[in-house]
Amino acid sequence: MTSDDSWQTVKRVRTYEHVLAQIAERILDGRLNVGDRLPSERDLVTALGVSRSSVREALRILEAMGIVEAHVGSGRDSGSRVSGRPTEALSNLLRLHMALSHFQLADLVEVRIQLERSAAARASAEAHSDDISRLNALIDQMMQPDIEHGTFHELDGEFHVTIARASHNALAADLMQALRDAVRAHMEVAFSRVDDWDGMVKTLSDEHRQIAAAIAAGDGDLAAELVANHIAQFYERTSDAKTLTSRWSYPVPSKIQP
């Protein structure tokens, strides 16, 4: 045996993982698309030469990931179909990955700022009138008197995701939604800790209005600065200030200084 002759360790793969791999391969190469029906459990057992329990385990995993939807019963709508919920799958994976990897909050916020800066700048060039109307409608809803924390959080999240959608970059919108879903619990805690809730609502809504106005005016540089400042200052206003302020500083853009 020569010195460069090496053996590779054989990886033990469970049977259901083979089923997962074959379904994933068909999705990746385009043989399976959103809405397509998968073969029945019986047909998969026959085609793949595996047990029914292995097929069911693979389908359960894919359903939990949001990749397939299972419909019980009989008839045209029964069986499993490829799901049209990729964002949900991405959110679930990202949330678990964040929990297991113990990311620092500052790292997460930095990624969010960079993503939202890019989305706001592109939205300023690509947004349609309907997108601007949607942003302003969300702000109006956020400014309703006595709005509850949970309701404001949902509208706030939709505002930021709408900016990403207005950039007409589908991947950016999905990433934004997944990131918002992944930090949902933290955001809800941050909102609940605010002492002057009415003041916070006014401050955030005013900042949202400035961002929407910059996008409507087609000023991408200003929109990017505003959204970065908006996100960084929100975390600085909450209990996480000490972990964030040394990482970056986004001064108020000169165009909106009093």
| DSSP track, 137-150 | HHHHHHTSTT--HH
Among 122, 184, 198, which Cα is nearest to 156's? 184
Band of pLDDT at residue 191, cut at 50, 70 and 90 = confident
Residue 159 CA to residue 138 CA, distance in Å, equals 6
Chain region(s) in the chain for CATH 1.10.10.10: 15-84
What is the pLDDT at residue 230?
94
Q: Is 189 helix (H, G, I), strand (E, B) or coil?
A: helix
Tokens 């609502």 sit on residue:
201
Q: Which residues pair with 37 in a beta bridge?
A: 81
What is the pLDDT at residue 233?
87
Residue 15 CA to residue 126 CA, distance in Å, equals 47
* Identity of residue 196: D
Among 118, 108, 103, 109, which Cα is nearest to 232's? 109
Residue 28 CA to residue 34 CA, distance in Å, equals 12
Band of pLDDT at residue 253, cut at 50, 70 and 90 = very low
Residue 173 CA to residue 38 CA, distance in Å, equals 28
Q: Any residues with CB less than 8 A from the CB of 235 and at least 6 apart, and which? A: 105, 109, 190, 241, 244
15-84 is a CATH 3.40.50.10900 domain = no
Per-residue pLDDT tens for 163-176?
A: 999 999 888 888 88
88-256 is a CATH 1.10.3720.10 domain = no
Band of pLDDT at residue 86, cut at 50, 70 and 90 = low
Helices 149-166 and 184-192, interaxial angle, to 10°? Answer: 130
Mean pLDDT value across residues 79-90: 75
List the structure tokens of 205: 């809504």
Per-residue pLDDT tens for 108-155?
A: 788 889 999 999 999 999 999 999 999 999 999 999 988 998 899 899
Terminal-residue alpha carbon distance, the chain: 78
